[in-house]
């Protein structure tokens, strides 16, 4: 497999993921843990991550798309899998056939789910009814919750498995954000009370995402849905301090690594890479690393003074990131010995130095979620703490290593 020949890979520390799952379970107790593994497990490899999370005590998984749920089932994952958005009507038969737990929030979605369950002869399907309490992305209006819950309850093949919502600013530290979180909690409690008053009692309720699980105890209900925190990244820098200084800090799961493919010495004033953006201040050693923006290393990393670790030291980029390659300024000739094959760390630890996902996010003016999900499909994921047979493909279709 050609992708194994290029010395670029992402290491996935499944022991760290198991640790994070246990920490989040203890933080949320007695709530159960739902591990969010959408987007191929935030770029970590969905099946491997799901298995590790379940081993560590997660009793639910969650994904965004029906196809993602099917991948888990085909990978042998058997625990309940929640779909976080209402599936298309034409996908409902696959939802039921694969034993996935659908979210619903429209009358047409409930009708399609009921037809699918009836057509397959499934006695009951637990539908999770989502109410919009302020996120304003998807979810039923509070005025429609009663009629939708009643429709689920009245269908012979459906049950009201849950009522749930999603928090918009649970990570916020401002008084305005905290007030809005309190407003969402109040709206949700009102919806639960309205249903209960009509005898429509959901089997469970859930509200908390990673940020709410960490910072808003009153949202922890019977189940918490943890995504970014599961991967050892704080939802925001503001929560990052709390996560890092906790008695049981979360551990980063992913590191992005490569090896030097070419080394040369260039004279002062040379301007490496496209656009000839910056001259070298003095005669310097420049190393080429075979990873670029097609792999999820953004071109603008050069513009925001991004760096890599090489020889245990931070080294700045020598020019613009290109599609397949990045050039690194290793300093004045003779300052350090750099050879083809030396390890380069783009995200992760090398010696006493570390470049974190949060640091990348800060450089790029984005969030850790985007950094992780942006690491491309052609970067092989290598699972540590889990050893699939050499040469086999990971469930995402990616190879096992360089």
Q: Catalytic: which of 38, 105, 231, 293? A: 38
Q: Output b/e per residue, 27-60; b: 16+ Cβ within 10 A.
A: bbeebbbbbbbbbbbbbbbbbbbbbbbbebebeb
Integer Cα distance of 30 and 129 in angstroms: 22
Q: Which of 29, 105, 274, 369 is catalytic?
A: 274
Tell me the C-alpha to C-alpha distance, in Å, between residue 98 and each of 94, 101, 114, 158, 313: 6, 9, 15, 16, 49
Check if 130 is active-site.
Answer: no
**Residue 90: Cβ-neighbour burial (10 angstroms; 0-12, 13-18, 19+):** exposed
- 3-class secondary structure, 53: helix
Say if CB 289 and CB 261 are below 8 A apart. yes
Angstrom distance (rounded) from CA 383 to CA 15: 10
Question: In the 8-state DSSP scheme, what is residue 195?
Answer: H
29 is a catalytic site residue: no
259-278 in b/e burial notation, b at 16+ Cβ within 10 A? bbbebeebeeebebbeeeeb
Catalytically annotated residues = 38, 274
């Amino acid at each position: 497999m050609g992708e194994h020949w290029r010395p670029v890979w992402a290491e996935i520390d499944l022991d760290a993921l198991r640790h994070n799952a246990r920490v989040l379970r203890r933080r949320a107790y007695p709530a159960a843990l739902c591990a969010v593994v959408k987007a191929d497990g935030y770029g970590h490899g969905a099946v491997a991550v799901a298995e590790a999370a379940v081993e560590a005590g997660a009793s639910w998984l969650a994904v965004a798309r029906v196809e993602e749920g099917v991948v888990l089932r085909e990978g042998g994952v058997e625990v309940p899998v929640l779909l976080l958005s209402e599936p298309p009507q034409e996908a409902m038969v696959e939802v039921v056939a694969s034993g996935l737990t659908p979210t619903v929030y429209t009358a047409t979605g409930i009708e399609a789910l009921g037809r699918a369950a009836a057509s397959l002869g499934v006695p009951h399907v637990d539908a999770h009814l989502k109410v919009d309490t302020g996120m304003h992305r998807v979810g039923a209006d509070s005025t429609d919750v009663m009629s939708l819950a009643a429709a689920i309850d009245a269908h012979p093949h459906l049950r009201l498995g849950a009522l749930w919502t999603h928090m918009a600013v649970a990570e916020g530290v401002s008084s305005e954000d905290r007030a809005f979180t309190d407003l969402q909690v109040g709206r949700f409690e009102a919806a639960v009370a309205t249903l209960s008053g009509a005898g429509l009692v959901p089997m469970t309720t859930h509200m908390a995402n990673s940020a709410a699980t960490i910072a808003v105890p009153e949202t922890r209900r019977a189940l918490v849905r943890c995504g970014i925190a599961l991967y050892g990244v704080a939802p925001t820098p503001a929560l990052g301090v709390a996560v890092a200084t906790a008695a049981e800090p979360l551990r980063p799961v992913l590191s992005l690594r490569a090896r030097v493919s070419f080394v040369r010495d260039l004279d002062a004033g040379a301007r490496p890479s496209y656009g000839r953006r910056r001259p070298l201040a003095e005669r310097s050693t420049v190393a080429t690393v075979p990873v670029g923006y097609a792999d999820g290393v953004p071109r603008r990393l050069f513009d925001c003074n991004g760096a890599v670790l090489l020889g245990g030291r931070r080294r700045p980029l020598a020019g613009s990131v290109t599609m397949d390659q990045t050039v690194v300024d290793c300093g004045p000739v003779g300052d350090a010995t750099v050879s083809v094959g030396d390890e380069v760390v783009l995200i992760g630890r090398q010696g006493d130095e570390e470049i974190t996902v949060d640091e990348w996010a800060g450089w790029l003016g984005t969030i850790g979620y985007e950094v992780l999900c942006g690491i491309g499909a052609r970067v092989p994921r290598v699972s540590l703490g889990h050893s699939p047979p050499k040469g086999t493909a990971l469930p995402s279709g990616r190879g096992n290593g360089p």
